[in-house]
A = this chain, B = another copy of it.
């Protein structure tokens, strides 16, 4: 699984990339840079984490999730994400209690009617509230 993803993107298989992918695959929600660093611990350099995440975004393996506070979150792209094109059109949920971000795979972002002249390419939707675990 992990190897497939890397090979599909023509990336060398390295320990750092495997470890970070492993974390994404095992976590249901989105991850902040800090989460990833905490997980990789002393194993890898902070810089490597930056570069790995950047590479993954470029290759369409992960994508940014918009947040209202000023943090950056990353989440795995689904299969239909191709390099340069992110089609992760599901809604993201941020829990106010546990502050986890969860991908609601089954909830697709609805289409909205834009004013004249606006051409939509991509839409993101983030809902916050209380998640199933915290209610």
* Interface of A toward B, CB cutoff 8 Å: 63-70, 72, 91, 93, 96, 104, 106-107, 109-110, 112-133, 135
Q: CA A6 – CA B121 in complex, angstroms?
A: 38
Q: Which residue of the partner chain, among B63, B70, B118, contacts A130 with CB atoms under 8 Å?
A: B118
Is there contact, CB below 8 Å, between B123 and A126?
yes
A-B contact pairs, 22 of them (CB 8 A): A64-B70, A66-B68, A66-B126, A70-B72, A91-B112, A96-B121, A107-B114, A109-B112, A110-B112, A116-B132, A117-B131, A117-B133, A118-B127, A118-B129, A118-B130, A119-B129, A119-B130, A120-B129, A122-B128, A123-B125, A123-B126, A125-B126
Is there contact, CB below 8 Å, between A109 and B93?
no
Shortest CB–CB separation between residue A114 and chain B, in angstroms?
6
Shortest CB–CB separation between residue A57 and chain B, in angstroms?
10
Is there contact, CB below 8 Å, between B114 and A127?
yes
Q: A70-B72, A93-B114 are in contact. Are A129 and B125 (CB under 8 A)?
A: no
Q: CA A127 – CA B127 in complex, angstroms?
A: 15
Other than the known A66-B66, A120-B129, what 16 A-B pairs have Cβ atoms closer than 8 Å? Answer: A65-B68, A70-B72, A96-B121, A107-B112, A112-B125, A114-B127, A115-B132, A116-B132, A117-B133, A118-B131, A121-B129, A121-B130, A123-B125, A123-B128, A124-B128, A125-B126
